[in-house]
A and B are shown apart, each in its own frame.
Chain A
Amino acid sequence: MRSFNDSRDVPRSKGHAPSAGEHAYRRAAFHALLIVAIIAACALSVMFGARPVGLDDVIRAFSDTSADDIAAEAIQLRVPRTVLGLLVGAALGVAGALMQGVMRNPLADPSILGLNSGAAFAIVCSIAFAGLSTPRQYIWVALLGASLTAVLVWLVGSVGRSGPTPLKLTLAGAVISSALASLTSAILLPRVDVISTYRFWQVGGLSGGRFELMAPILPLFAIGFVLVLWSARHLNALALGDQLAAGLGVSMTRVRVLAWAAAVLLSASSTALAGPIGFVGLVVPHAARLVVGPDYRRIITASMLMGPLLMVAADVIGRVVTRPDDVEVGIVTALIGAPVFVMLVRGSKVKEV
Chain B
Amino acid sequence: MTGHSPQPPTSHTLAARHVTLAYERREIVHDLDLDITPGTVGAIIGANGCGKSTLLKALARLLTPTHGAVTLDGKAINTMPTRKVATIVGLLPQSPMAPEGITIADLVSRGRHPYQGMLGSWSDEDDRAVAHALEVTGLADLADRPVDEVSGGQRQRAWIALALAQQTDILLLDEPTTYLDIAYQLEVLDLLSELNATEHTTIVMVLHDLNQAARYTDWILAVKDGRQAYFGTPDEVISERMVAEVFDTDARIIADPDTGLPLMLPGTRHSLARLRGDSHGEHAQTATNHDDNLL
Q: Which residues of A contact B (CB under 8 A)?
A: 5-8, 10, 12-20, 104, 161, 229-230, 232-233, 236-237, 239-241, 243-244, 246-251, 293-295, 297, 351-353
Contact B109 A5 (CB under 8 A): no
User: A237 CA to B57 CA in the complex, in Å?
Assistant: 18
Set B57, B98, B118, B141: member contacting A240, Cβ < 8 A: B98
| Interface presence of B122 (CB below 8 A) | yes
| Interface presence of B92 (CB below 8 A) | yes
| Interface presence of B7 (CB below 8 A) | no
Interface readout for B136-155 with A: 1 if CB under 8 Å, 0 if not?
Answer: 00001101111000000000
User: A243 CA to B91 CA in the complex, in Å?
Assistant: 8
Question: Which residues on A sit within 8 Å (CB–CB) of B62?
Answer: 243, 246-247
User: A6 CA to B146 CA in the complex, in Å?
Assistant: 7
| Interface presence of B82 (CB below 8 A) | yes
Contact A16 B122 (CB under 8 A): yes
Known: A18-B109, A293-B101. A241 touches B96 (CB 8 A): yes
User: A18 CA to B24 CA in the complex, in Å?
Assistant: 42
Contact B143 A294 (CB under 8 A): no
User: A104 CA to B113 CA in the complex, in Å?
Assistant: 19
Set A12, A20, A248, A352: member contacting B86, Cβ < 8 A: A248
Question: Which residues on A sit within 8 Å (CB–CB) of B103?
Answer: 5, 7, 17, 293
Contact B106 A239 (CB under 8 A): no
Chain B minimum-CB-distance residue to A230: B118
A270 to chain B: closest CB distance in Å?
Answer: 25
User: A7 CA to B146 CA in the complex, in Å?
Assistant: 9
Complex interface: stretch among B124-132, B188-196, B274-282:
B124-132
User: A107 CA to B113 CA in the complex, in Å?
Assistant: 27
Q: Which of B89, B98, B105 has the most CB of A within 10 A?
A: B105
| Interface presence of B208 (CB below 8 A) | no
Known: A5-B146, A15-B130, A243-B62. A249 touches B99 (CB 8 A): no
Question: Which residues on A sit within 8 Å (CB–CB) of B172?
Answer: 247
Contact A12 B120 (CB under 8 A): no
| Interface presence of B237 (CB below 8 A) | no
Set A10, A15, A236, A294: member contacting B101, Cβ < 8 A: A294
Question: Which residues on B sit within 8 Å (CB–CB) of A239?
Answer: 97, 99
The residues in B between 25 and 44 inclusive whose CB is less than 8 angstroms from any CB of A are none
Top 3 A-B residue pairs of the complex, sorted by shortest distance between their CB atoms:
A249-B86, A247-B91, A15-B131
User: A8 CA to B92 CA in the complex, in Å?
Assistant: 28
Chain A minimum-CB-distance residue to B172: A247
Contact A10 B144 (CB under 8 A): yes
User: A129 CA to B141 CA in the complex, in Å?
Assistant: 67
User: A8 CA to B126 CA in the complex, in Å?
Assistant: 23
User: A18 CA to B126 CA in the complex, in Å?
Assistant: 12
Contact A19 B113 (CB under 8 A): no
Question: Which residues on B sit within 8 Å (CB–CB) of A352?
Answer: 99-100
Contact B102 A293 (CB under 8 A): yes
Q: Pull 15 A–B residue pairs with CB atoms less than 8 Å apart, ordered by A.
A: A7-B103, A15-B130, A16-B126, A18-B105, A161-B23, A240-B97, A240-B110, A247-B90, A247-B92, A248-B110, A249-B86, A249-B87, A250-B82, A251-B82, A297-B120
A227 to chain B: closest CB distance in Å?
Answer: 12
Question: Which residues on B sit within 8 Å (CB–CB) of A161?
Answer: 23-24
| Interface presence of B60 (CB below 8 A) | yes
Q: Which residues of B contact A (CB under 8 A)?
A: 23-24, 57, 60-62, 82-87, 89-93, 95-107, 109-111, 113-114, 116, 118-120, 122, 126-128, 130-131, 134, 140-141, 143-146, 162, 166, 172
Question: Which residues on A sit within 8 Å (CB–CB) of B91?
Answer: 243-244, 246-247
Question: Which residues on B sit within 8 Å (CB–CB) of A14?
Answer: 127, 131
* Known interface pairs A16-B109, A237-B110, A247-B62; 9 further A-B residue pairs with C-beta atoms within 8 A, sorted by A's residue number: A15-B130, A15-B143, A18-B109, A240-B162, A246-B91, A247-B92, A293-B101, A293-B106, A294-B99
User: A20 CA to B102 CA in the complex, in Å?
Assistant: 14
Chain A minimum-CB-distance residue to B85: A249
Contact B24 A233 (CB under 8 A): no
User: A293 CA to B148 CA in the complex, in Å?
Assistant: 13
B128 to chain A: closest CB distance in Å?
Answer: 7
Question: Which residues on A sit within 8 Å (CB–CB) of B105?
Answer: 13, 15-18
Question: Which residues on A sit within 8 Å (CB–CB) of B89?
Answer: 247
Question: Which residues on A sit within 8 Å (CB–CB) of B126?
Answer: 16
Question: Which residues on B sit within 8 Å (CB–CB) of A6?
Answer: 146
User: A246 CA to B91 CA in the complex, in Å?
Assistant: 9
Chain B minimum-CB-distance residue to A1: B101
Contact A244 B144 (CB under 8 A): no
Known: A16-B130, A243-B57. A294 touches B106 (CB 8 A): yes
Question: Which residues on B sit within 8 Å (CB–CB) of A13?
Answer: 105, 143-144
Question: Which residues on B sit within 8 Å (CB–CB) of A244?
Answer: 91-93, 96-97, 162
User: A88 CA to B113 CA in the complex, in Å?
Assistant: 31
Question: Which residues on A sit within 8 Å (CB–CB) of B61?
Answer: 246
Question: Which residues on A sit within 8 Å (CB–CB) of B116?
Answer: 233
B157 to chain A: closest CB distance in Å?
Answer: 16
User: A16 CA to B110 CA in the complex, in Å?
Assistant: 10
A286 to chain B: closest CB distance in Å?
Answer: 12
User: A299 CA to B270 CA in the complex, in Å?
Assistant: 56
Question: Which residues on A sit within 8 Å (CB–CB) of B143?
Answer: 12-13, 15, 17
